[in-house]
Each structure stands twice: as structure tokens, then as C-alpha cells.
Chain A
Amino acid sequence: MNGVAHAWLIVALMMSGLYIVMASAHLFKKLIGLSVFQVSVFMLYISLGVVEGAAPPIVEPGVDAYSNPLPHVLILTAIVVGIATMALALALLVRIRRAYGTLDEAALAAKDEDA
């Protein structure tokens, strides 16, 4: 039986990612959590396009059932957006670390209060 169990697992993974983003005090780890959050959203999308017993959406003679190509296209774009965000965030972290000497949220806030 195919059901929605995959969706439960994906949601659980998604929420782990979100939890890491919100709960971590370390900026770098937040970023890692963000990527987990995004990956699980990608899987949710792709799971929407699966057709039982179908082939990947590359037209071939003799095949008449294909998976839905649209989610694939969207997620290709989303993956690119994800890596772009990550690169930018890492550059920001490099600057923050150099300016403050720490990436811990509480420590950062404390440093600006003295200033």
C-alpha cells in the first residue's frame, strides 16, 4: 500500500531542520539547519510528481507513463537558490567572525552592547 507515510517522514525532517535553525545559538549551525529544512521541502515537491510505475520524463518511443516533470524543474531552480543563499551566508559569516571574533548569538549581542 502506498500512502502518505513518506509525507510524515518528510515533515518530520523538515521540522528538524527548522528546529535547528531556531534553536541553535551558533550562526553556522543555523545555516546547516536551513539547508536540511530546504532539502526536505525539495523532497516534498518531488514526491508530488511521482507516478507509480512510470519512467523519468525523458520521451522515449514505447513509453507512455512518465513522472510529472514540473516539480523537477521547480526544484532544480530551488536547489540553485539554496546554494546561492548558502554561499552568501557563508561570506557574511566570514565577515562577522572577523569583526567580532565569535559566531555565538549571545556573545555577538553582548559585544555590541559594550560598543
Chain B
Amino acid sequence: MSVEYGLTLTLLAFMLLAAWALARSDDLLAAVMLAGIISLASAAVFTVMDAVDVAFTEAAVGAGVATLLSVRALGVLGERRAAGRARVGLPFLVVLVCGGLLLYGTADLPAYGDPAAPAMQHVAPHYLARGGVETGVPNIVTAVLASYRGFDTFGELVVIFTAGLGVLTLLAGSGVSGARSEVDAGDRDIIVRQVVKWLVPFVLLFALYVQFHGDYGPGGGFQAGVIFAAGMVLYALTFGLPRLERVLPPSRLRLLAATGVWLYGGVGVACLLRGGAFLDYAVLAEDAVDGQHLGILLVELGVGLTVFSVMVLIYRAFTRQRHGGVE
């Protein structure tokens, strides 16, 4: 057994333990933290499995954004414990059947790491052998994401947009505008404020690096957007939401969120206008590879824009909610 496989199994066993604790726990905050730990551990598993982009994203999103949002929401909800009586019978039966089926199904999967597995024989070799040449992007994940399966990524962008739209719709008109400690955090410690003041520019710089370095290493518009948003959230946490809103009014955020989608879709339409298929970047420049490069750059920018602005919008929407209480 290879060391890597052993590590994977250990991490998985650890996650299972965490899940068991999660299932037993009534404390919602603990549940959120345990889920965050599972997510973080999965990021480690992804790294071991050579999926660096995924690991990066899972750490940023699963462990980061999801935990942040959950904690924020828990604060707003004013709920601490899940005291209700759990059902046991039907869930147990369903889990038994599904689990049994999955064990049956995975029993004759190709062994872990088998280079002869069917998934390794078809389609994937093309990406690995030709991806770098056809798109001029060495990070094959980026090449597949933005070009070969660029339409999926457009869809993914729309999903994020839909979520943002949904949160805005659902929480429309129910926010508070009055001064609250969370909303107006102007009384933070001076040291914290100074540190954050210095830190935020670096976070944003890092985000830009991730945005434009995605062609060559792990990263891309999605991760960059999340990190950029994290920088803004950090700023808002320290200096208060109103300060952030002065820099980035909500109307501008909404425009940016829409612009990201339009940029991505617009690149597709531009390809159509130049006689290619939707998202066929090759027609964007004289040279096909140059065109690919340009297209990938632009759509990644679109992704970054929308992800960033939707994340900040969602954070803002939750932060502005009154805490607890019933209508």
C-alpha cells in the first residue's frame, strides 16, 4: 500500500469520525465547525489525489465561505441547539439500501490509481496530450474548464448568479439600516484596524495573482473571486459595512455581478458573430491559440467578477438581517 493511499484512508477515517460526532451533536455551532473540519480534511484528500485546483477551491469555499456564511446565518437565526426528535426508521432503511447499492457498485471499480481504468482511456488522454497545444494553457484543468467544457463553466457562473439573485430576492426588504455593532464595527481595536488595513491590499493582490495565474498553476476566476470577496469581507468586519458600501455601493455590486455573466456570454456571442460556434475562442484572433488565450482570459475575468460581487452581496444581505425574532 502506498503512503499516499494510506494517508487518504487515514484522512477518510478521521472524517468519518467527525461525521459521527456531527450526527450526534445537538449543538449547531459545533455542527458547523465539524462540517468545516470535514471540508478542510477533504481539501487535504484532494491534494493527496493530485487535484490541486479542487483542493484550493474546497478550502476556500467549503471550509471558508460556507463556514463563514453558516456562522453568520446562525447568528441571525438565533438558534443554538437542534432539540427536535430525530426520525430513525425510514432514514436508516434508505441509507442501508443506498449504501448497499453503492458498495455493490464500487466493488468492481478499477483499483485506486489504476492507469488502465476506463476513465483514463477515453477523452482524458486527449486533454492531456493535446490540451496544452490546442489552447496554449499548461494547466489542463483550466484548459478543460474554460475552453473544452467552457459551456459548463458558463452554466456554473449562472448558478452562482442565481444563488445571489435568490438570496437578494428572499431577503429583499427585510434588512435593517440602523446602526448595530455588526453593521457598524467602528469600535474595533486600533491594532486590529491597522493590521487589517495593511493586510487587505495583500489579499487583493493575491486574488489578482490567482486570477491571472490560473493558466499556469492552480487558480482561476472562481478562486480569485472568492479571495477578493474575502478581502472585502475582512474589511467590512473591521471597519463596518457602511465603510465598505461607500467603496462599493450595492447598486455597483449588482451591476458587476450582471457584467460578469454578460462578459462570459458576450465572449460566446462574439464568437458567434465572428462565424464560430458559441464560445469557440479560436475565431477571436488570427491565430487559433491566441484566440483561445484571449477567450480564456476574458471568461475567467467574467467568472471572477460575478463570483466576487455575488459573494459580497450575499454576505451583505445576511449581515443586514435583524437577529432572531418573529414577524
Asked whether the complex places CB atoms of A and B closer than 8 A, the reply is: yes
CA distance A94 to B152 in the complex (A): 31
Interface residues of A, dominant DSSP: helix
Whether B77 lies near A24 (C-beta < 8 A) is: no
In the complex, A81 has a CB within 8 A of chain B: yes
Highest count of chain B CB atoms <10 Å: which of A19, A82, A93, A104 = A19
A25 CA to B203 CA in the complex, in Å? 40
Q: How large is the interface on B (under 10, 10 to 19, 20 to 34, 35 or more residues)?
A: 35 or more
Residues in A with CB closer than 8 Å to B58 are 39, 42, 79
Looking at chain B's contact residues, the main secondary structure is helix
Q: When the two chains form the complex, which single residue of B86, B141, B143 contacts A76, counting CB atoms closer than 8 Å?
A: B141
Q: Which of A22, A71, A106 contacts B51 (CB 8 A)?
A: A71
Query: Which of A16, A43, A50 is within 8 Å of B50, CB to CB?
Result: A50
- A: number of interface residues (CB 8 Å): 90
3 tightest A-B contacts by CB?
Answer: A25-B84, A26-B82, A52-B113
Interface residues of B (CB under 8 A from A): 1-2, 5, 8-9, 12-13, 15-16, 19-20, 22-23, 28, 31-32, 35, 38-39, 42, 45-46, 49-54, 57-58, 61-62, 65-66, 69-70, 73-74, 76-79, 82-88, 90-92, 94-95, 98-99, 102-103, 106-107, 109, 111-115, 117, 119-120, 123-124, 127-128, 131-132, 138-141, 143-145, 149, 152-153, 155-156, 159-160, 162-164, 166-167, 170-171, 174, 216-218, 222, 314, 317-318, 321-322, 324-327
